Amino acid sequence: MAQSHQSPAGSRVDMWITRINRVPRLGRVVLSLLITLELVILLSVIIDRTLIDAVVEGDVDPMTPALIAAVLGVVIYGISWWALVGFDADPGDPWQAGLPAVVMVGAGIAGLVLIVVLALFGLAFGYVL
């Protein structure tokens, strides 16, 4: 008898796809927004830390880090919308979650953990982000 074995990772992805498919559209829109916000917050910290010296020296306009973060936020929100909500071009073929939706939710979970860790380190060492 030949048995087919699914890899544990494949079954976990399928499990997450099923969970995401059960979330109503409004819930996926809110989830997309929250994931985008937390990823943009993390990217803003990186951008600000990278450009702070150039801004202080006057080589870079003070609005540049905010504009970079805003552009990245719009791009990430578009990707997140595509992955979690979808663009319903065909009303007869409703959106279904796939691997991009699972990756986006995973990025959101990782981002949330990273924000909590950064906040805890900030509180422990006397500064926040």
Q: What is the pLDDT along the chain (129 residues), one digit of tens a residue?
A: 444 455 566 688 899 999 999 999 899 999 999 999 999 999 998 998 888 888 888 888 888 889 999 999 999 999 999 999 988 767 777 888 899 999 999 999 999 999 999 888 888 887 755
Q: What is the pTM of this model?
A: 0.80
**Cα–Cα dist 21/95, whole Å:** 9
3-class DSSP state of 95: coil
Distance of CA 24 to the CA centre of its chain: 19
CB of 97 within 8 A of CB of 106?
no
Q: Angle CA(101)–CA(103)–CA(108) in degrees, nearest 5?
A: 95
